[in-house]
Amino acid sequence: MKIVVIGTRGIPEIQGGVETHCQQLYPRIAAMGHDVTIVRRTPYVGASKGMKEFKGVHLVDVYAPRKKSIEAIVHTTLAMLKARSLNPDVLHVHAIGPGLLVPFARLLGMKVVSTNHGPDYDRQKWGRLAKFVLKTGERLSAKGSNKVIVISQVIADILSTKYGRKDTELIYNGVEIPNLSTDTDYIERLGLKPNRYVVAVGRFVEEKGFHDLIRAFASLAPEGYKLAIAGDADHEDGYSRSLKQLAAEYGVVLTGFIRGEKMRQLMNNASLFCLPSYHEGLPIVLLEAMSYARDVAVSDIPANRLPVLSPDDYYPVGNVEALASLLGRKLKAGATPRKYDLSNYDWDNIARQTVEVYRRVLT
């Protein structure tokens, strides 16, 4: 089977939840004997510029403007034309922004599977016009795709209620059980001590809620503990600059975007992981923290309400005082490893489920 994938910035080691999803999923599908091509956005390829293959997945770079308001739509148009030239059995479109052009793909004669990673129009960074475009993309991808994959029951309910799409395929995001690092040299260079810091990970955009976390941690001021945030902005803007200023004011450790051994050390030695998001699909970074057996403190948005977590892990989203109280209780209890049942989030099983969706599209 020949599959072309669009809607992601690309792989490997490119910041973002959809990007992590694709990096884990498609090498597994390629290893099952399928021909997989991912179309990448040129501004993000970085050190992997010119790379033609990653773990059996073909990589094709297509132009995208580095302007968030038009980046996705321009790249998706060009990527669909490139995909048509590759003559795939299935075009897999990720996210509702690129989903705006699902009808165009169908007009080009392609079979389309779309994955809805969540209602992106809920993100604070988008203005009124952008939110309208994203809602339109949600509607057109829901109604126009041959098959629709959703990563949470919350998203399935949205598409059923709003568009009558009741045959969505629920396939969760996944997580790999990590190879734990015993080294601490990287975190020590950051001025961090094992089990004496809180960690958060994500892009520097308003809906991630890192401003709430910094203020909550500063008000708590736990003796002997630090706060570390791994990530950065895709597009530097007023919010990301103000967040970095706030972090500097309160002595927060900012690592930038990291992967590999650096991330393993940062996660494995944290006392507590915090996800203060206002919006998520099904957060891979939360699953990753759980795979390290870290205790967690998370906002109570629907996407974060995983059955393997307890009510004591949540606080009301946006409530800085409640977040500070939760951090205080968790840190007082100490860094005790937790065992979570992550069997529903196995990438190998997710790959098999995804291929089965492709097969049903072609029958």
Q: Give CATH superfamily name and number for 185-333.
A: Glycogen Phosphorylase B; (3.40.50.2000)
Distance CA 214, CA 220 (A): 10
Model pTM above 0.75: yes
Please give the pLDDT value at position 72: 87
pLDDT above 80 (res 226): yes
Please give the pLDDT value at position 76: 97
Q: What is the mean pLDDT of residues 266-295?
A: 94
Distance CA 207, CA 200 (A): 14
pLDDT above 90 (res 330): yes
pLDDT above 80 (res 67): yes
Task: Name which of 161, 69, 145, 156 is nearest 118 in CA terms.
Answer: 156
Distance CA 15, CA 184 (A): 23
Distance CA 282, CA 303 (A): 5
Q: What is the mean pLDDT of residues 257-279?
A: 95
H-state helical runs in 65-167: 71-86, 102-107, 128-144, 153-163
pLDDT above 80 (res 348): yes
Q: What are the structural domain ranges in the chain? A: 2-174+346-362, 185-333
Please give the pLDDT value at position 95: 96
Distance CA 47, CA 259 (A): 14
Distance CA 358, CA 363 (A): 9
Q: What is the mean pLDDT of residues 148-169?
A: 96
Please give the pLDDT value at position 334: 83
What is the SS3 assignment for 113? strand
pLDDT above 80 (res 68): no
Asked if residue 74 lies in contact with residue 42, where contact means CB atoms within 8 angstroms, the answer is no
Distance CA 208, CA 181 (A): 27
161-207 pLDDT per residue, tens: 999 999 999 999 999 889 888 899 999 999 999 999 999 999 999 99
36-62 pLDDT per residue, tens: 999 999 999 988 888 999 999 999 999
Per cent of the chain over pLDDT 90 is 85
Task: Confirm or reject CATH 3.30.465.10 for domain 2-174+346-362, answering yes or no.
Answer: no
Is there a cis peptide before residue 12, judged by omega within 30 degrees of 0? yes
pLDDT above 80 (res 69): no
Q: Are domains 2-174+346-362 and 185-333 of this chain identical in fold?
A: yes
Work out the mean pLDDT of the chain and round it to a whole number: 95
